[in-house]
C-alpha cells in the first residue's frame, strides 16, 4: 500500500506539477517578483471564489490577522475576545499590538468559541471598564466555520467588529455562503498544509468595507500613500510573492474538486468511526473544508500508539491551550480557567486528511483505530 501521509503534497504535484512548473517559469521570464500581475489576478479569483467584496493577499496568515487588527486600530487598552483552542498566531498578533487577548472557552462539540460564554465575557469586560472591548476573533477550527449567525448579532448589539480567523477554513460554508465572506473582516492562510496551500508562506484578508480595503492595501506595503515612497501611516512589509500567487492560481483551479474529495473522505471516516470516538459536530447547514480530521477519545493515547505501530501518522492540534502558554503567562491565567479547552486538548487526535487518500488507506486508518480500542 502507498505510504499514508498526514497531508500528501506530493500526490497533488503528480496531478498538476507540470502546470505549476509552467506557472513558475512564466514568473521567472517576466521577472516581476514583487506585486507582479499574478498577485492581482489571484486576488480577483479569491473574490470570485469566496463572494467577499475585497481580497487582499499578504505574506502569511499571521500577517493577515495583524493587518486586519491594524486596519481597525486595535492597540493598548483594547480587549480582543478569542478562543484559547487555536494556533498561537491568533492571539500572538493581539499582544504584538499591545492589546489584550481575552480568552473565552469553546463549545465541547464544535470546538469553536462558545457563543453564550462569549456574550457573558463581553458583558463582564464592558462592566469592569478596565479594558475597552474592541473586537472578536472567532476561529474556524479544523475547517468548520464558527457560529457566525450568533456572533454577527453581537456586532449589532455591542458594536464590535469580527475578524474571522479562517486560516483553516477557506472553501467551507454556512448555508451556501462561503467562509471569509460571512463577516465584515476575515483572514486566511496559504501555509503549505492548509486546504489551499502554496509552496511557502502566504495569506489573505477579506473585507466588505471599502475603507478597510484601502487601509490594508496601504499597510501591506509600509503604509504607502500614492506610492511606496509616500508613507501616510505605519505598516509592514506584508506582500504575497508573485511566485506564490502563480502557484496558487493553478491550485485554485482544482480546489473545488479537492474540497469534494475531502468531504467524501470525512464522510467515510465518520460513518465508520462515529460510534467509537467523538467526532467534531458539524451543525445543520454547515460544510467544513476538513483542514484536519480530528476526534476526541478518552483512549486517545492507545489509539495513537496503535496507529504509529502501523506507520500511520497522527498529530495533536493543540496539545496546550493558549492561556497555559508561557508566552501569555503575564495575563495571569491558570489551569482550570477553561475546562472544555483543556479537556479537549488532552483527548483530541488528528488523523491523515487530504484529497488524495485512497479507499484502502482510509480503511486501514479506520480499522487500526477500531483495533486500537480493543
Ligand X SMILES: *Cc1c(COP(=O)(O)O)cnc(C)c1O
Query: Interface residues with ligand X (CB under 6 A)?
Result: 60-62, 86-87, 89-90, 139, 165, 167-168, 189, 191, 201, 203
When the beta carbons of 112 and 189 are compared against ligand X, the nearer one is: 189
When the beta carbons of 191 and 269 are compared against ligand X, the nearer one is: 191
CB of 41 to ligand X, least distance (A): 21
Contact status, residue 145 vs residue 173, Cβ threshold 8 Å:
yes
When the beta carbons of 138 and 372 are compared against ligand X, the nearer one is: 138
Alpha-carbon separation of residue 170 from 36, 250, 288, 291, 333 (angstroms): 24, 16, 9, 9, 32
In the block, residue with C-alpha cell 496601504: 218
Residue at shortest CB range from ligand X: 61
When the beta carbons of 57 and 134 are compared against ligand X, the nearer one is: 57
CB of 176 to ligand X, least distance (A): 23
CB of 374 to ligand X, least distance (A): 34
When the beta carbons of 87 and 255 are compared against ligand X, the nearer one is: 87
CB of 166 to ligand X, least distance (A): 8
What's the rounded Cα separation, in Å, for the pair 312 and 4? 6
CB of 293 to ligand X, least distance (A): 15
CB of 87 to ligand X, least distance (A): 4
CB of 195 to ligand X, least distance (A): 11
When the beta carbons of 170 and 351 are compared against ligand X, the nearer one is: 170
Sign of the torsion formed by the C-alpha atoms of 173, 174, 177 and 181: negative
What's the rounded Cα separation, in Å, for the pair 226 and 214? 11
- CA 106 vs. chain centroid, Å, equals 16
* DSSP count for the chain of H helices, then E strands: 12, 13
CB of 280 to ligand X, least distance (A): 15
Task: Reply yes or no: is the peptide bond before residue 318 cis, omega within 30 of 0.
Answer: yes
When the beta carbons of 90 and 134 are compared against ligand X, the nearer one is: 90
What's the rounded Cα separation, in Å, for the pair 141 and 292? 9
Residue 276, classed as helix, strand or coil, is coil
Contact status, residue 82 vs residue 94, Cβ threshold 8 Å:
yes
When the beta carbons of 36 and 203 are compared against ligand X, the nearer one is: 203
Contact status, residue 174 vs residue 181, Cβ threshold 8 Å:
no
Sign of the torsion formed by the C-alpha atoms of 350, 354, 357 and 359: positive
What's the rounded Cα separation, in Å, for the pair 150 and 73? 24
What's the rounded Cα separation, in Å, for the pair 353 and 332? 36
Amino acid at each position: 500500500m502507498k505510504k499514508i501521509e498526514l497531508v500528501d503534497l506530493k500526490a497533488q504535484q503528480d496531478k498538476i506539477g507540470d502546470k505549476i512548473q509552467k506557472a513558475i517559469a512564466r514568473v521567472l521570464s517576466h521577472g516581476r517578483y514583487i506585486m507582479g500581475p499574478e498577485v492581482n489576478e489571484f486576488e480577483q479569483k479569491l473574490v470570485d471564489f469566496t463572494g467577499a467584496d475585497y481580497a487582499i493577499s499578504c505574506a502569511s496568515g499571521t500577517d493577515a490577522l495583524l493587518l486586519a487588527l491594524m486596519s481597525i486600530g486595535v492597540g493598548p487598552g483594547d480587549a480582543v475576545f478569542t478562543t484559547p483552542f487555536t494556533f498561537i498566531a491568533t492571539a500572538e498578533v493581539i499582544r504584538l499590538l499591545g492589546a489584550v487577548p481575552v480568552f473565552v472557552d469553546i463549545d465541547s462539540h464544535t470546538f469553536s468559541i462558545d457563543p453564550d460564554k462569549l456574550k457573558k465575557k463581553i458583558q463582564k469586560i464592558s462592566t469592569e471598564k478596565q479594558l475597552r472591548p474592541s473586537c472578536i476573533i472567532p476561529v474556524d477550527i479544523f475547517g468548520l466555520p464558527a457560529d457566525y449567525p450568533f456572533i454577527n448579532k453581537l456586532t449589532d448589539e455591542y458594536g464590535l467588529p469580527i475578524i474571522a480567523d479562517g486560516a483553516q477554513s477557506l472553501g467551507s460554508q454556512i448555508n451556501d455562503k462561503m467562509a471569509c465572506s460571512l463577516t465584515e473582516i476575515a483572514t486566511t492562510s496559504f501555509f503549505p498544509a492548509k486546504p489551499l496551500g502554496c509552496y511557502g508562506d502566504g495569506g489573505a484578508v477579506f473585507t466588505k468595507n471599502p475603507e478597510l480595503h484601502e487601509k490594508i492595501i496601504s499597510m501591506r506595503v509600509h503604509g504607502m500613500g500614492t506610492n511606496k515612497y509616500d508613507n501616510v501611516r505605519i505598516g509592514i512589509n506584508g506582500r504575497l510573492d508573485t511566485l506564490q500567487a502563480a502557484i496558487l492560481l493553478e491550485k485554485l483551479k482544482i480546489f473545488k474538486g479537492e474540497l469534494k474529495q475531502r468531504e467524501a473522505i470525512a464522510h467515510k471516516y465518520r460513518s465508520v468511526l462515529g460510534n467509537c470516538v467523538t467526532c467534531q459536530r458539524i451543525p445543520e447547514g454547515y460544510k467544513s473544508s476538513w483542514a484536519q480530521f480530528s476526534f476526541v477519545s478518552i483512549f486517545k493515547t492507545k489509539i495513537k500508539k496503535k496507529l504509529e505501530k502501523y506507520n500511520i501518522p497522527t498529530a495533536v492540534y493543540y496539545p496546550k491551550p493558549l492561556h497555559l502558554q508561557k508566552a501569555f503567562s503575564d495575563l495571569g491565567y491558570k489551569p482550570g480557567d477553561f475546562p472544555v479547552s483543556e479537556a479537549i486538548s488532552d483527548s483530541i487526535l488528528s488523523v491523515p486528511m487530504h484529497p488524495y487518500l485512497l479507499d484502502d488507506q482510509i480503511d486501514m486508518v479506520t480499522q487500526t483505530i477500531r483495533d486500537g480500542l480493543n
